Amino acid sequence: MVPRKLLSFLVQSAAVGIIAAAVLIFILPTTWLQTTSKDAANNTAVSNQSNPFSYADAVSRAAPAVVNIYTKKLAAGPRRFTTNNPQLERMLRNMYGRNIDRTVTSLGSGVIVTPEGHILTNNHVIENAEEIEVFLRDGRQLTASVVGADPETDLAVLQIHTTNVPSITFGTSNPLAVGDVVLAIGNPFGLGQTVSQGIISATGRNQLGINVFENYIQTDAAINPGNSGGALVNARGELIGINTITSSKNGNSVGIGFAIPIGLAQQVMSHMIKYGRVLRGWVGIRVQNISPQLSESFGLTEVGGVLVSGIVRGGPAYAAGLFPGDIIISMNDQIISEEKQVLNEVIRVSPQETLTVKGIRNGELSEWTVEVGQRPIYGSLTY
C-alpha cells in the first residue's frame, strides 16, 4: 500500500507537469515559436538569394531592354543569269556587266541604356548599314539612327525616338569575379530573344588581335551569330557587358565567348552621345618592348620600360623633346613595363591635358611634360 505522503507528492508533481505543458502550448507559440519560424524563413530567403533555383527575376528585369537589330546594306556581287548556255551567259555579262549591287540583310542585338532611347551594340552589327530596324520585346518596330561608332572597341550607339522606352540597369557596384553566374540575352540566328546561362571564365582578356582596345570578359554562356551587341547580365539582371564575339572557326558557340565590360562601354557611350565620336589622347610615338638583349646593349641593370622606336615629327611627344632611343619607364607615375601599357595610359588623358613621362636617355634619368593631342579617327600606327 502506497503511503499517503508519497501519493500526495505524486499528485502534486502531476499537477505541476500539466500546468507547465499548458504554458508551453498556449503561451510560448506567440513569442518564442514565432521568432523561431521567422528565423527559419529568413534563412530560407538568404539561401534562395545566394543559390537561386531560377533566374527568371533577373531575365524579367533585363530582357525588356534587349532589342533585335536588323540591317540592310548594299554589297557588290557577281551578276547571275538563269541560263545553261556558257556562251550566252558570257555575252549577257559583257552586255549588262559582271557585278551588281545587292541588298544584304544581317541581324544582331542591342541594349537600351537610357530612357531617351540610346542603344548600345557592336560596330560590326551596323557597319555600312543603309537601314537599321530595331524590334522591341513588346512588339514595336522602329527605325534607328546612328549616334556614333567606334571600330577600335567595336562599339556603336544608336537611338530610337519613342515613348515608354525600357532601359536596363548598369551593374557597376560589385567587382566581377571568375565564377560569377552570367546570362547572355540576344537574338541568335534570328530566332528572337533568347537567354543562355554560364559563368565568368576570365576577366581582362587582351592581346587577342580582335580590336585595338581589348579588355574582355570571357564567358562560357552561349554566344552565337546574332548575339553580338546583346546583353551580358549578372544574376540580378544588371548589365555587366556587351556580348561581342565567340572564339570559333565557324562562328558558333564553343564555350568561349567574349563581352566588352560595361565600364568601358559607358565611357565610349558618353563620348559618342556628347561628341558623336570617342575623343582619345595621342602623343605620336611608336614603342617596343625591351628584350634582355636590348637591355644589355643600353647598359640597363634591369629589363623594364619600353623603347621609343619612332616618333611623329611635329607631334606632341616631339614637341616635348622625346626622341627615338629614349626609354620610357613611367607615365603619370604609372610604371610602364610593356608596350600595351603605353597605349592605355595615353588614352586615359584627354586631349589638351598634360602627361608626365619619365624615362632614361643616355643612361640618365629624364622627365618630359607632354601636352596630349587628339588620336586620329579610326586609329593610328602610333600612340
Q: Is 161 a catalytic residue?
A: no
Cα(326)–Cα(92) distance, rounded to whole angstroms? 63
Cα(128)–Cα(159) distance, rounded to whole angstroms? 17
Q: Which of 124, 150, 253, 330 is catalytic?
A: 124
Q: Which of 106, 118, 150, 154 is catalytic?
A: 154
Strands 257-261 and 216-219: antiparallel
Cα(125)–Cα(26) distance, rounded to whole angstroms? 69
**Among 301, 303, 357, which residue's Cα sits nearest to residue 330?**
357
Neighbours of 264 (CB within 10 A): 17
Q: What is the 3-state secondary structure (H, E, C) of the chain?
A: CCCHHHHHHHHHHHHHHHHHHHHHHHCHHHCHHHHHHHHHHHHHHHHHHHCCCCCHHHHHHHHHHEEEEEEEEEEEEECCCCCCCHHHHHHHHHHHCCEEEEEEEEEEEEEECCCCCEEEECHHHHCCCCEEEEECCCCCEEECEEEEEECCCCEEEEECCCCCCCCCCECCCCCCCCCCEEEEEECHHHCCCEEEEEEEEEEEECCCCCCCCCCEEEECCCCCCCCCCCEEEECCCCEEEEEEEECCCCCCCCCCEEEEEHHHHHHHHHHHHHHCCCCCEECCEEEEECCHHHHHHCCCCCCCCEEEEEECCCCHHHHHCCCCCCEEEEECCEECCCHHHHHHHHHHCCCCCEEEEEEEECCEEEEEEEECEECCCCCCCCC
Cα(289)–Cα(355) distance, rounded to whole angstroms? 20
Q: Is 228 a catalytic residue?
A: yes
Q: Which of 201, 228, 253, 330 is catalytic?
A: 228
Q: Is 154 a catalytic residue?
A: yes
- The set of catalytic residues is 124, 154, 228
